[in-house]
Amino acid sequence: MKHYEPPKKELWTGRVSNKWLYLHEKAHCTPLEELPEAQKKSIALLGYACDAGVRRNQGRIGAAEGPDIIKNSFGKMPNHLGSNVLLHDVGSVVCSDGDMESAQEQLVEAVKILLEKKQFPIVLGGGHDMAYGHYNGIKKYLDTKKEGQTIGIINFDAHFDLRKNTEQSNSGTPFYQIAKDCEKEGIDFNYLCLGIRKDANDRNLFQTARELDVIYVMSETFQPAFLEEITTWIDAFAKNVDHVYVTIDLDGFSSAFAPGVSAASPMGFTPHMVLECLKTIISSGKLISLDIAEMNPKYDIDGQTAKLAASLVHHVAHAVTQS
């Protein structure tokens, strides 16, 4: 595979217990082509080492290094996965010479392979342009079943990422691209955004969101005081689709929690809110795949953002294998 890099064993280090007390002791470094079909619950971590879309979107580059940093931080964490659960690092999709489109195409194929192998994919980025490849990988997998199954996208983010790709696709265009594809195919565009900020989206983007019937929760409402109502909205959204794809943009968090991102802001949401919402999504039984975008180690402080991303992966990996 031209735009693929096999897993790096050297990333998986930490305390040694010889009893699988830590995740680096449990993880298997398994290249995609060697990955067997899972006979039991299995998590697959796939990197998207690309920030060409961030560069095109005039953001701070550095997110291409994000996947390795998240994996390394995750590996140092305690392992509470059951003995009947497998954990694989399957390497990373890489971007050569700024060719974001080829990286996205490779991601489509990689996600499809993981789902065919009965893995639960967790994709680590990398720019948010990976959402276009990730979504299409899920869609391509479901299309092989010829059952017309619907996909709902839940995006934890300060940004709609609905910029029009009239000139060039980038990290700000993936959901507009998906919406336009859905329009061409005559299928519904099911998109829920949680944490949208007025200071992060111009009025044209709000107009586009209205035109596309996007459901969104503003940052001032995405707060613990409104958790019950938000849970109701998530439940209603999930009931309306067959599968849910979750994407978490780290730049949606306040920079107090996530300084190492492509577009940091102190005005973002808290990890607590995302974790509470993830409980609701996972309990629906419809979560098919998840990614974490915009980890930028170049601007991280004391590994805070890497630890946040790793903690989110830790929570999801344990929750989906217990559900």
Residue list, annotated binding site for Mn(2+)? 128, 157, 159, 161, 249, 251
Own/partner pairs, 217-223, CB within 8 angstroms, 24+ separation: 217/192, 217/193, 219/158, 219/195, 219/267, 219/268, 219/269, 222/194, 222/195, 222/269, 222/273, 223/273
* Beta bridge partner(s), residue 61: none
Give the E-state strand segments of 37-196 in sequence order.
Answer: 42-49, 86-94, 120-125, 151-156, 190-196
Which amino acid makes up residue 177? Q
- Tell me how far apart the terminal alpha carbons of the chain are, to the nearest angstrom: 34
Closest CA to 67 of 127, 129, 154, 133: 127
Q: How many CB atoms lie within 10 A of CB 156?
A: 26
Q: How many CB atoms lie within 10 A of CB 206?
A: 16
Q: How many CB atoms lie within 10 A of CB 261?
A: 29
Q: In 55-64, which positions are buried (b, 16+ CB within 10 angstroms) versus exposed (e)? A: bbbebbebbb
Three-state SS at 188: coil
Binding residues: 128, 157, 159, 161, 249, 251
- Which pair of structure tokens corresponds to residue 118? 């009965």
Which amino acid makes up residue 105? E
Angstrom distance (rounded) from CA 66 to CA 83: 29
Q: Name residue, tokens 């092989």.
A: 144
Angstrom distance (rounded) from CA 304 to CA 210: 35
